[in-house]
Amino acid sequence: MTWSKPITNYPSQPLSTGSDAISELPLYFLDIGMGENLEDESKLPENGRVLRRDPDGVVTVLVKGQSLPDGLDISHSAQRMFWTNMGSCGSAIDRTIMSAKLDGKDVKVLISAGKLHTPKQLIVEESSQRLYFCDREGLGVHRCDFDGANHEILVSTGDPSTADTHDATKWCVVVAVDARNGKIYWTQKGPSKGGKGQILCANLEIPTGESAKSRTDIEILAKDLPEPIDLDLDKVNQLLYWTDRGEYPTGCSLNRISVEAHGNRVPKMVARHFHEPIGLKLDLQLNIAYVTDLGGAVYRVHLDDGKKDVLLSDGACYSGIALGYR
């Protein structure tokens, strides 16, 4: 894979101030629960948290007791947040899709235990009132309604009842949706720091007469990536951003690639030197991205120059992130 040069880090400009300023948004994000607050390893399946950071820097714990939460997004129309629980190793009883109000109340299980292998990153598609998410060892891209109904598999990369489930090149991690243009994008991360990761795309709907296992409309956008994880799509400019937790020099980074039909498909590195980055969410009104990493930090990244501001740094392990209301 050929890469363009990283964006040079110039001194960061402060965000707009004054009467016409666009304010920053509250951030909702997940703590997997494997950080320094884990005093008893047997408690790992119930140590995950959902948190909110307000623009003034105050962090509030909204939901506790989650089992390795990984993907998170918010529906502004439903005024609810949705997240995945990867669950504890060797057990299917705590791998779920969850929902709650934005204050952390009214917690609900949308897809109950035993139906998924390892649900990963999740996004909200408002126009259809659907959730899209990946099941890593389940080897697929899924979707369902906001209440968990109409659960279906859109892409299947193998048979999870066979040795396929141990093939990391088949592991789907995150999906992004462009409903207007009828496209989905997803990552298959490959082995840890293995340089075999891919970003793929296909039509939003399975072609007539085909299935999740047999669809012929899948295209590889990028391959031989260190270890691509989360995605977010700039739908206006048709730029797909992703975090990569793989090895240096191109891993531990934030990157982007054009997804225009005739665009330049050369990946561009936007920012580097994260500590195993996971979560990603764009705020295009401010031209910034928010990134979380397993090293316990939440970053604001300026998309024009790649400058990183550390908004929070502690001993937690952060994964999915979502934006609240402006």
The structural domain count of the chain equals 1
Burial of 230 per CB tally in 10 Å (0-12, 13-18, 19+): buried
| CA 194 – CA 228 distance, rounded (Å) | 10
Paired tokens of 268: 């561009």
Q: Look at residue 155 and tell me if it is in a domain.
A: yes
Taking the alpha carbons of 101, 53, 133, 237 in that order, is the dihedral positive or negative?
positive
The 10s digit of each residue's pLDDT in 59-115 is 999 999 999 999 999 999 999 999 999 987 655 557 999 999 999 999 999 999 889
Sheet holding 96-101, edge to edge: 69-75, 80-85, 96-101, 108-111
Biggest CA pair distance of the chain: 60
| CA 7 – CA 196 distance, rounded (Å) | 24
CATH of the domain at 203: 2.120.10.30
Q: Look at residue 172 and tell me if it is in a domain.
A: yes
Confidence band of 9 (pLDDT split at 50, 70, 90)? very low
Q: Look at residue 5 and tell me if it is in a domain.
A: no
Q: Look at residue 296 and tell me if it is in a domain.
A: yes
Q: Look at residue 110 and tell me if it is in a domain.
A: yes
**Domain interval for residue 259:** 27-323
| Rounded mean pLDDT, 239-246 | 97
Q: Look at residue 119 and tell me if it is in a domain.
A: yes
Average pLDDT, the chain: 91
> 120, 112, 114: which is closest to 137 by C-alpha?
120
Q: Look at residue 2 and tell me if it is in a domain.
A: no
Q: How far is CA 268 from the centre of its chain?
A: 19
| CA 252 – CA 192 distance, rounded (Å) | 12
